[in-house]
Amino acid sequence: MRLTPLTASCPTNTCPQVYTTDRGTVVVQGALLDAAALGVATDEGEVLVEIPGELFRAAAVARGAGQA
């Protein structure tokens, strides 16, 4: 799988980020959350991550502009 950042990344590549893939999907990098503690059921292999709202908005704008 190849990832293409939708938003400007930080110099260390450890910041929250949104990517598109060569498979037509979206990948999100963010802080891992405890789904059970939040009352959210997840299937095996699924996780919840948190990213800043502004990053999500910027990624949506970039995707709509055809940047990735």
As a whole number, mean pLDDT of residues 32-57 equals: 96
Residue 18: which domain range? 3-64
* 67: pLDDT strictly greater than 70: no
Task: Note the pLDDT of residue 38.
Answer: 98
Instruction: Identify the sign of the CA torsion 35, 6, 20, 60.
Output: positive
Residues 9-39 have pLDDT tens digits of 677 778 899 999 999 999 999 999 999 999 9
| The total number of structural domains that make up the chain | 1
Q: Is the predicted pLDDT of residue 53 greater than 60, yes or no?
A: yes
Query: DSSP states of 52-68 as a string?
Result: -HHHHHHHHHHHHTT--
Q: Is 45 exposed, middle or buried (0-12, 13-18, 19+ CB in 10 A)?
A: exposed
pLDDT recorded at residue 66: 63
- pTM of the model as a whole: 0.80
